[in-house]
Structure 1
């Protein structure tokens, strides 16, 4: 069980989402995320993929490897059956983070194989309705939003 100890506000084009960050999830990932937030790294970052009943994915670089395959084939394979061990509204990044970028995922449903692909380091504590509103936007066949949607900014409201 993760212990949550830091809060941040993610302002999106649809509204604000309050997230709690867990330092014990992966200290290196959390430190990097917080440092990127402080340097306005996420300011203006688009959500690249929106998959209903799965994830919302933001990032500023092209994906490759296992995470890319998982995102684009998740719905097509029908392997997103609900699992009680993986919750909706969790925040994570890829297990093999790109040193030049940072993937940001918000789960919108329990995902069975989440631990194989994403390091969870936070959860949504307010704004689940905003996450669901983002999840409902129209996407193309590659799960890319037809209308741009993304993060306006992320601000720290409570230190670790």
Structure 2
């Protein structure tokens, strides 16, 4: 029997992206992302950092307010989660948690790889991959 996988549907002004999760690789990160998404935390946020050929970054609640643009990239849910580094490779379409220099500083911000930034492997928590979009 095939168990249906839960996915994330990320709706943007450019269309929809669908991502599958890797709970076997980063269970706490997957649960955190799902909890935030289901609570509406990500609703109305923007991809505030876009670097062609590298990644797009979103998940900052401050991006809901244009008057806070100078602080975009610094917002979080009010807590941090521990890193769950793995051997998963950062390649096009991989979802991974954004963080500061502290490996255990991720909260809500995530990025989607546009290129194949393998130099991030083992240093950022990869937790899923786009299957559409």
TM range (shorter): 0.5 to 0.7
My pick for the range that moved more, 53-62 or 23-32, is 53-62
Aligned to 2:10: 10
Report the Cα distance in structure 2 between the residues aligned to 1:56 and 1:62, rounded to whole angstroms. 12
2:120 aligned with 1:114, yes or no? Answer: yes
Question: Shift in Å at residue 27 of structure 1?
Answer: 1.0
The reply to whether residue 90 of structure 1 matches residue 94 of structure 2 is: yes
Q: Give SS of 1:113's match.
A: helix
Which structure 2 residue ranges, 5 or more long, are not aligned? 61-71, 75-88
8 Å contact from structure 2 (residues 91, 118) kept in 1: no
Q: Per chain length, whose mean CA-contact separation is higher, i.e. which structure has more relative contact order (CA < 8 Å, sep 6+)?
A: 1
* Structure 2 match to 1:157: none
Deviations 1:10-39 (A, max 9, x none): 101111111101111211111111000110
Q: 2:58 matched to 1:58?
A: yes
TM-score by length of structure 2 reads 0.68
- Cα deviation for residue 116 of structure 1 reads 4.3
Q: Unaligned regions of 5+ residues in structure 1, if any? A: 64-84, 128-160
Q: What's the CA shift string for 1:51-83, capped at 9, x where partnerless?
A: 0100001132534xxxxxxxxxxxxxxxxxxxx
8 A contact 1:5–1:23 mirrored in 2: no
Deviant stretches of 4+, over 3 Å? none
SS at 2:25 equivalent: coil
CA contact (8 A) 1:10 1:16 kept: yes
Greater share of residues in strand: 1
Q: TM-score, normalised by structure 1?
A: 0.57
Give the secondary structure class of the aligned counterpart of 2:121. Answer: helix
RMSD value over aligned CA atoms? 2.0
**Length, aligned pairs only:** 101
| Equivalence for 1:151 | none
